[in-house]
């Protein structure tokens, strides 16, 4: 395959929600990432529905069928593109519910591992201190701060704790980093009790442990590449909106009956970004209703009344 500057990828498993989100993710990527600079790849775990693969091919996307690298933690499926050798200089992997409205290529560094900052102190610093002690990395802890407080309002976390909604690194770095990340994930799965109520975050904690072992520091993307609904009224610039099913039910007033995002109370530049997103949402909804693989799951798509 021809060499390109970047690969952008997401990973989809069998859950029907991810298949509806894929339509919007791909719609946004198709509009935002030029094929001259980006390979656009969708990885399917265990099953690749023909209706979706055909739809992707028609829009210039590649696709792969892969096995889950850590079946006990579906969040870790995002490791798959980093584990595969890419014919590009950089690989950018995002969750399927991260929706781009502007090209972030100018934010990609030459040699760093990059990700978005941790949102809600998940998990807090004391959990990392305990993990490092058990993992033989006692002196690895360095303090950082999450964008917002966790359930207790506390914000201190490990310096390399991320939001795993967007992760980017040079392909050459991924060749050595991804196996270390996977090894830490598998160790965490075996020792999940150490994470307490934060056990779901195996993917990003495994990332942090891998960074600690390598004695490296993540270069954070600005939060505007991973905007969550909590931040909508406080920002002007938007590269991507992270509309997670964990957040949407708490912001029901932000979603109109047709699934579009309300722009009430936001700045003028943010209104424009939301307008770009809403154009993609409207188009994606038409496609979801047209495809038999996604039609039956339309009630899961950007619906505040649907809880995962």
The pLDDT > 70 percentage for the chain reads 99
DSSP for 176-224, please give it. HHHHHHHHHHHHHHHTGGGGGGGGGGHHHHHHHHHHHHHT---EEPPGG
Q: What is the pLDDT of residues 24-79, one digit of tens each?
A: 999 999 999 998 889 999 999 999 999 999 999 999 999 999 999 999 999 999 99
Q: How far is residue 25's CA from residue 281's CA, in Å, rounded to a whole number?
A: 9
| pLDDT confidence band for 1 (50 / 70 / 90) | low
Q: Is the pLDDT of residue 308 over 80?
A: no
- Cβ atoms of residues 162 and 115 within 8 Å: yes
Chain centre to alpha carbon of residue 108 = 16
Answer whether the bond into residue 123 is a cis peptide, omega within 30°: yes
Q: In this structure, what are the phi and psi dihedrals at residue 255, rounded to the nearest 5 degrees?
A: -115, 125
**Which candidate, 149, 114, 86, 85, places its Cα nearest to that of 223?**
114
* pLDDT value of residue 2: 62
- Cβ atoms of residues 68 and 74 within 8 Å: yes
Domains of the chain: 4-224 (3.90.550.10)
Helix, strand, or coil (residue 54): helix
| pLDDT confidence band for 198 (50 / 70 / 90) | very high
SS3 content of the chain, % helix, strand, coil (to 5): 45, 20, 35
**Which candidate, 231, 157, 139, places its Cα nearest to that of 198?**
157
* pLDDT value of residue 257: 85
Rounded average pLDDT over 241-247:
96
Q: Computed from CA positions of residues 41, 46, 52, 53, in that sequence, does the dihedral angle turn out positive or negative?
A: positive
Q: How far is residue 294's CA from residue 296's CA, in Å, rounded to a whole number?
A: 6
Q: What is the pLDDT of residues 201-226, one digit of tens each?
A: 999 999 999 999 999 999 999 999 99
Rounded average pLDDT over 270-283:
98
Q: Record the pTM.
A: 0.96
């Amino acid at each position: 395959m021809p060499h390109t500057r970047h690969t952008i990828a997401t990973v989809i498993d069998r859950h029907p929600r991810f298949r509806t989100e894929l339509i919007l993710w791909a719609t946004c990527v198709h509009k935002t990432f030029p094929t001259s600079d980006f390979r656009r790849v969708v990885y399917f775990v265990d099953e690749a529905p023909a209706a979706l693969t055909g739809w992707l091919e028609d829009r210039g996307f590649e696709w792969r069928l892969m096995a889950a690298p850590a079946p006990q933690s579906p969040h870790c499926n995002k490791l798959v593109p980093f584990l595969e050798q890419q014919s590009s200089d950089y690989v950018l992997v995002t969750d399927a519910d991260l929706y781009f409205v502007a090209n972030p290529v100018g934010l990609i560094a030459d040699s760093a591992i990059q990700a978005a900052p941790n949102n809600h102190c998940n998990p807090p610093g004391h959990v990392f201190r305990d993990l490092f002690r058990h993992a033989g990395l006692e002196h690895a802890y360095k303090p950082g701060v999450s964008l917002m407080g966790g359930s207790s309002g506390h914000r201190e976390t490990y310096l390399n704790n991320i939001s795993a909604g967007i992760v980017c690194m040079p392909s050459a770095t991924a060749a050595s980093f991804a196996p270390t990340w996977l090894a830490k994930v598998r160790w965490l799965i075996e020792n999940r009790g150490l994470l307490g109520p934060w056990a779901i975050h195996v993917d990003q904690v495994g990332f942090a442990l891998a960074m600690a072992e390598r004695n490296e520091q993540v270069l954070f993307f600005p939060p505007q590449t991973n905007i969550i609904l909590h931040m909508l009224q406080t920002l002007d610039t938007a590269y991507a909106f992270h509309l997670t099913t964990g957040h949407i039910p708490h912001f029901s007033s932000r979603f109109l009956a047709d699934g579009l995002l309300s722009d009430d109370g936001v700045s003028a530049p943010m209104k424009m970004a939301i307008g770009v997103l809403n154009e993609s949402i409207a188009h994606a909804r038409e496609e979801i209703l047209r495809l038999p693989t996604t039609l039956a799951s339309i009630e899961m798509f950007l619906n505040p009344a649907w809880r995962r």
